[in-house]
Amino acid sequence: MKKIIGLAVIALMVSAPTLAAGDAAAGKAKSLICASCHGADGIAVIPGYPNLKGQNAQYIESSLKAYKNKERNGGNAAVMQPMASMLNDTDIANLAAYYSTMK
């Protein structure tokens, strides 16, 4: 029984998605345009804009993809949709990795 549980745990660990699958260094380079609103350190410089520093990578990815696909229309969508439309999936993963690893 212990072997079965051990194998199940290993299988779950191997199949679990990584938290920050992108390249944080590439995300940092790509983040320059984000910094004008979200701050160079990931802390928003404009009231009402979200802080990205330490944010969950999956949340950042899903949010950017939703803006890019025009599925997210409230709040700052008028600003974010054009920004996200310039990003490919690799850029999005890299940005998510960068911001999620900021301490």
Q: What is the pLDDT of residue 2?
A: 60
Q: What is the pLDDT of residue 5?
A: 62
> How does pLDDT run across 11-54, given as a tens digit for each residue?
444 434 445 589 999 999 999 999 999 999 999 999 999 999 99
CA–CA distance, 33 with 20 (Å, rounded to integer): 20
CA–CA distance, 37 with 39 (Å, rounded to integer): 6
CA nearest 94: which of 38, 18, 22?
A: 22
| Collapsed DSSP state (helix, strand, coil) of residue 12 | helix
List alpha helices for the chain, DSSP H.
2-15, 24-30, 35-38, 57-68, 77-85, 89-101
